[in-house]
Amino acid sequence: MVFEQFLSSDSVKKHMLFIFLLGMFYVFVGYFVSAYFFQGVVSVAMLFTITLLLVPSAAAILNFEEQIESKEGIKHFFHNHKDIFKIYITLFKGIFFAFLILGAYAGPAVFDYQTDFLEARGDLTSNILTEFAENEYHPTFDNVFALISQNLLVVVIAFILSIFYGAGALFLIVLNASVFASFICFVVREIGNSLAMILLFLIHLIPELSGFLAAAIAGGVVSRAIVREDFLSKGFKNVMKDALVLLLIAAGLIIIAAFLEVFVSANLVKMVV
């Protein structure tokens, strides 16, 4: 309980390194617990154990966020939300880099589920990488629209999950961090240039992740407003207005990320490989 109070306090603004290391720590704890109790399905078990570790802390943050929104609504919108975004993005960074470390030193079993997930979507096979490296790259708006529709679906799922499960959309954040790390580890093993690859992929991953986080926060505060606020009260309406703005921002970020991925990141990766 002390830790949850710390996360929702002003002092957390000065401890982003602690939040980053906490995200990494949760991943390593999730790995050792999963490797001990769930041998053979480590990659799947890790997603749930890490999420379980994150949920109490995230719930405390969202409670604090809902109290602010019910009082102020969209007034001082960006000022009110900057700290929670910093916390969530920093947690994601910690989780992401911890998965990169595990992928490098613990072996591919850490990413069994993630690799299957990417292969099922047609995003990750040796043949795809070989064709991308050897053939001319011709980006089209069809590629952009496909990415937008795919990621907007994730935004909707994140929002709905957060409404019904509060901080449950953290599962999608952990999943995306592990999938991104899995993809980068695979590309690095096949092509090389590890640092360059990470930096290039971050061009579109940052706005994409921010879109998912905005949707998760929107659903989380709506969930708490339903429980804590009287229906159609001023506080309830303020939260709903804020949630709508967050969803619009999420959609905008997803659209920007799709254009960056197709027309910027992919072209730069092509130059590197």
Average pLDDT over residues 93-117: 84
pLDDT of 262 strictly over 80 = yes
- Residue 76's pLDDT band, with cuts at 50, 70 and 90, is low
pLDDT of 28 strictly over 60 = yes
Any idea where the domains of the chain sit in the sequence? 2-272
What is the DSSP track for the chain? Answer: -HHHHHHTSGGGGG-HHHHHHHHHHHHHHHHHHHHHH-TT-HHHHHHHHHHHHHHHHHHHHHHHHHHHHHHHTTTTHHHHHHHHHHHHHHHHHHHHHHHHHHHHHT-GGGGHHHHHHHHHHT---HHHHHHHHHS-----HHHHHHHHHHHHHHHHHHHHHHHHHGGGGHHHHHHHHHHHHHHHHHHHHHT--HHHHHHHHHHHHHHHHHHHHHHHHHHHHHHHHHHHS-TTSHHHHHHHHHHHHHHHHHHHHHHHHHHHIIIIIHHHHHHH-
In the predicted model, what is the mean pLDDT of the chain? Answer: 76
Average pLDDT over residues 121-136: 60
Q: What is the pLDDT of residue 2?
A: 43
Q: What is the pLDDT of residue 1?
A: 42
Position with higher pLDDT, 46 vs 182: 46
Position with higher pLDDT, 65 vs 264: 264
pLDDT of 153 strictly over 80 = yes
Name the pTM for this structure.
0.76
- Residue 58's pLDDT band, with cuts at 50, 70 and 90, is low
Q: What is the pLDDT of residue 99?
A: 92
